[in-house]
Structure 1
């Protein structure tokens, strides 16, 4: 994800599906932090994104 953001940054679509996948990933906290740092207000935080993050077995509590 860091490579994509570094190379394609503003051309990379940050959709709800992308954010849900990032939040549910085994290192979701790091990926979400990266997305917020790089794209900030463009990151959609929907009910489904929050559910995906909460279901993350590794760091969902955070």
Structure 2
């Protein structure tokens, strides 16, 4: 993912669907979401659907949720 964003980041939109997939990823969700937030934090819409995906992630949803809250300033 980091390589893709490095090489083609300007051509890859970070959509709600991408964020939902990252937030719901039980194995690497925390790492993927951290990468997206680090690289594209200003373009990350924390929508209800993204929060639901994180909440439903029984692998590392708690950590993903904490990242979303930390990066959004708790809003």
- Structure 2 unaligned blocks of 5 or more: 64-75
* Counterpart for residue 33 of structure 1: 34
Deviation, structure 1 residue 55:
1.0
Task: Spell out, residue by residue over 1:4-61, the C-alpha distance to the aligned partner (whole angstroms, 9 max, x if none).
Answer: 1111112111000010001111210100000000011101210000110111111111
Q: How many equivalent pairs are there? A: 62
Moved over 2 A (4+): none
Superposed, 1:40-51 pairs within 5 Å as 40-51=41-52
TM-score (norm 2): 0.77
Q: Within 2, Cα distance between the matches of 1:22 and 1:61? A: 13
- Give the gaps of 5 or more residues in structure 1: none
* SS, match of residue 45 in structure 1: coil
Indicate the residue corresponding to 1:14 in structure 2. 14
